[in-house]
Amino acid sequence: MKNKNKKLLLLIAVTFALSTAVMSADLSCGIVLNNNNLATNKIRGWPSYVAMGSVTTADESIGEALAKTPVDAIFKYAGENGAGDRGHISDLKAEQQTLAQARYIEMNNEDHHKVMPVFVVYTSEGNNGADISNDNNLKIHYINLMNYALYLENQRDYHHKYPASIILNPDFLGTLEQSKSHAMLKPTTKVDVNKMVDSALQYLKLPANHPVFEDNGRGYVQSINWIIHNFAPHVPFGWQENTWSVSSAHWIFSMQNNEIKDKVSQPVIDFINSFGVYQGPFKPDFIVFDRYERDDLYEGNSAWFYNHQNWQNYLTYVNQVSRGLGVPAILWQIPGGHLITKNDSSKLPINHVSTAPDFFFGDERCNLKNIHPAVLNSGIMKVDKHISVKQHLAEDPDSDWTKSNMNLAARNNVAAILWGGGLTTAVAPLGSNGDDHGWLADKIQDYYKNPTSTSLQL
């Protein structure tokens, strides 16, 4: 065995001992972990207001830009290829750099604003679950998740009782539901869960004590939840869900509010429950929803340009699913571009125009008469027909883009909004996404003057 591997295993063993000791001490004091009280949509370790976050990279300039805002959270993909590192054991470099950046932002913003590092973790490379049918792939996914969990738990200190958070498996549940009649992974599909959990524990020289899981898709999900609960009891986590899992996301544009529960939300809840994702003793802390990781006009004839009613439909869905599962919601990879006006000084390119910040924060300059003609004349795709942005906005004529809807988000069980993506406008430009020259950052700073409590209820 190489010296590097010996050092890594020694670090993991020490980390496990420390995290177990900390966990035991907390439990002996009567702390109940993962107590999701839906009288509030607050997540342990997160603020008691609707939190703001941003995509990040390990680049130093991004940390400097985010320290000026500041945000409550930064998110980055875990591992080395950002998609599960099939067949490869991660070296934890991405985790170390992102944690260091979070601490840098805390130390260099004016009020030492706490920053939660959030890691997007894949425990299956590919959204259809096919690769976990291979025992070696599954074993290495387990090893990597155990490594992440142990490392993150060991970052706990007096000022960071909940040192990080984890988002699990984007597009995984959505893809399985969308293709469930011929899905590669179903709740009853055979998976060597117990054998590979044992093999991963043995490889890392960790105690081989774990519950007996079902050796199938449902047991696989439970094993993932158990690993985080067991090795990182102070790391809040949740799985991701999509808007298109019921075959497409066109319902956003076509359904009335009162149809969403029966035709969209309840089928999603039932499907998630078929895998037991939010059932049993290892229940996650939150559920994560994205919309589509692109600004609304990023592609010609975009099918993702939302008006007010579309955003209300989206929040209705988020609320119904998250409450149906009994956990708060995080909105993730929400496009941070905005509606540019005739005299807009943000220099935002037309292909990075979006409506989310205008809807959630409000923009006093933004009314239908003042929106830039280039935006109004842009073509979009609505279900099966081409229309202009102007036509789409006119379908919701009473909407007021000057007023904030953050209270509506809180009442619909939203605990945090994490902005941007690799190609999508965020709080600070990455080089690959849109640069709004501080427009969204300024909106967040204004929001922090009077943030919205997470204790609001419908």
pLDDT at position 41: 84
Residue 358 domain-assigned (yes or no): yes
Containing domain of residue 131, as a range?
3-23+41-448
Residue 32 domain-assigned (yes or no): no
Give the residue among 52, 85, 154, 65 at the shortest CA–CA distance from 438. Answer: 65
pLDDT at position 39: 52
Residue 97 domain-assigned (yes or no): yes
Residue 235 domain-assigned (yes or no): yes
Q: Tell me the DSSP string of 251-291.
A: HHHH--GGGHIIIIIHHHHHHHHHTTTT-STT--SEEEE--
Residue 387 domain-assigned (yes or no): yes
Q: What total of structural domains would you count in the chain? A: 1
pLDDT < 50 regions, the chain: 1-38
Q: Give the E-state strand segments of 347-447 in sequence order.
A: 379-382, 385-388, 414-419
pTM for this entry: 0.90
Residue 334 domain-assigned (yes or no): yes
pLDDT at position 34: 32
CATH classification at residue 359: 3.20.20.80
Distances (CA, A) of 344 to 64, 299, 434: 25, 21, 15
In angstroms, rounded to a whole number, what is the distance separating the alpha carbons of residues 139 and 223? 12
Residue 119 domain-assigned (yes or no): yes
In angstroms, rounded to a whole number, what is the distance separating the alpha carbons of residues 375 and 336? 16
Q: Residue 400 is which amino acid? A: D
